[in-house]
Amino acid sequence: MSTDSTVNAEYPTEVLAAVVREAGEPMRVERVRLRAVGPADVRVRIDVTGVCHSDLSLARGVLAQPLPAVLGHEACGTVVETGSEVTDLSEGDRVILLWITPCGTCAFCERGESWMCVNGSRRAQEPYALDEQGEPVYPGLTVGSFAEQTVVPAAAAVKVPEDISTRDAALLGCAVTTGVGAITKTAAVTEGSSVLVIGLGGVGLAAVQGARLAGASTVIAVDRNSDKAGLAAKLGADHFVLADENTKKAVRDLTGKQGVDYAFDCVGSSRTIRDAWGMTRRGGTACVVGIGGKDDTVTFNALELFHFARTLVGCVAGSLNAHTDLPRYFDHVRKGELDLAAMVTGSGTLADIEPALREMAEGRGIRTLITPDGAEHTA
């Protein structure tokens, strides 16, 4: 039987965290004890973390996650402790946390496709903390950033340059790199092309900005909430189309009855995937960016696959190789080519995560940024 002293040695750091215990049930702010920092780990104070749609899917049971868990994965924080073998990070460094940590040795990593690393997300299945009853707690999407602190491998932390704000860096942890990367890297949109983006959450609005960066000639934004039209236009959309029974006709009317060259589904449902496919021209590309449920089946008939000759491609994390690609995103922010502040529609502390999830489920808001310790981190 473990003694209190053993538990305290193995799980020495007590922090507040928003814990989800049952799928569909509200999170509760509780005290948990983080595991000790291993030789290759870092302990990070979470300065700012975004509330992402993937967190909603995990909290509601659409995506599988061992429970109880601390969700949150889009974050920037400050290193407060390093393991004995860590040489590239120091206490006080600001870092972006990665929810896919490439192992460097699997077949995908060896092919340069680190975002599909077979080991990159396994930590989500491994306890990283204990609750007040001494039961194991899991890190949602490997990070567990809905907490005052977390412990991750040093390889899951990328140092943030001094001239990049903490708030901007947090968004680069998921939404921006996923949306922009889907456009510029996964689908490799060519200059002068027409682009359709379905779903204007954080990822979708980042995709709109990515289409502008790629030099798209026409960018069409689609969402069920007409209140997002103005922001979509500000970030680069030429047209806003309401998601309803007339959407397909409206998009075809805007593209000479042909459909778009590239369509991006940033929702992740069988309906929106079919919509993206159906609004893509013959020979065009439909890209699935949003994460859907495993029981939500999409069907295609054999003739349409032949006749339309479209490409259907999935997108994992914007095909991001974090250690080599993030410097390019830092440059976009420096040059004002990405407007990340415009995507933030709310802020709060751990107690505000549940309202942010409800707002997201209702199709309102874009990104709520959470400061777990309640302090301002604007550096």
- Calculate the alpha carbon distances from 132 to 27, 33, 42, 129 in Å: 15, 8, 23, 10
Q: Based on the domain organization, do 107 and 42 belong to the same domain?
A: yes
Judgement on whether residues 168 and 266 belong to the same structural domain of the protein: no
Looking up residue 284, the CATH number of its domain turns out to be 3.40.50.720
Of 182, 138, 155, the closest CA to residue 314 belongs to 182
Same domain, 165 and 221: no
**DSSP 8-state assignment for residue 184:** I
Structural domains counted in the chain: 2
Q: Are residues 158 and 281 in the same domain?
A: no
Looking at the fold, whether 366 and 284 belong to one and the same domain comes out as no
Instruction: Reply yes or no: is the peptide bond before residue 161 cis, omega within 30 of 0.
Output: no
Nearest to 273 by CA among 199, 334, 210, 364: 199
Q: The CATH number of the domain where 156 resides is what?
A: 3.90.180.10
The range of the structural domain enclosing residue 42 comes to 4-172+340-370
Residuewise pLDDT in 10s, the chain (379 residues):
455 666 678 999 999 999 999 998 999 999 999 999 999 999 999 999 999 888 888 988 888 889 999 999 999 999 999 999 999 999 999 999 999 999 889 999 999 999 999 998 899 999 999 999 999 999 999 999 999 999 999 999 999 999 999 999 999 999 999 999 999 999 999 999 999 999 999 999 999 999 999 999 999 999 999 999 999 999 999 999 999 999 999 999 999 999 999 999 999 999 999 999 999 999 999 999 998 888 899 999 999 999 999 999 999 999 999 989 999 999 999 999 999 999 998 999 999 999 999 988 888 888 999 999 877 665 6
Which two three-digit tokens encode residue 338?
């990405």
Instruction: Tell whether 183 and 168 lie within a shared domain.
Output: no
Would you say residue 335 lies in a domain? no
Examine residue 198 and state whether it is found in any structural domain, yes or no.
yes
Q: 257 lies in a domain? A: yes
Query: Domain for residue 376, yes or no?
Result: no
Task: Say if residue 256 is in the same domain as residue 357.
Answer: no
Tell me which H or E stretch contains 251: helix 247-254
Same domain, 100 and 144: yes
Alpha-carbon distance of 340 to 29, in angstroms, equals: 28
Q: Are residues 35 and 133 in the same domain?
A: yes
Q: Say yes or no: 112 and 193 in one domain.
A: no
Clarify whether residues 295 and 366 are in a common domain.
no
Q: Based on the domain organization, do 96 and 210 belong to the same domain?
A: no
Q: Is residue 155 part of a domain?
A: yes
Residue with tokens 């969402």: 223
Residue 291 domain-assigned (yes or no): yes
Residue 44 lies in a domain: yes
Residue 236 placed within a domain: yes
- What does the alpha-carbon distance between residue 72 and residue 43 come to, in Å, rounded to a whole number? 16
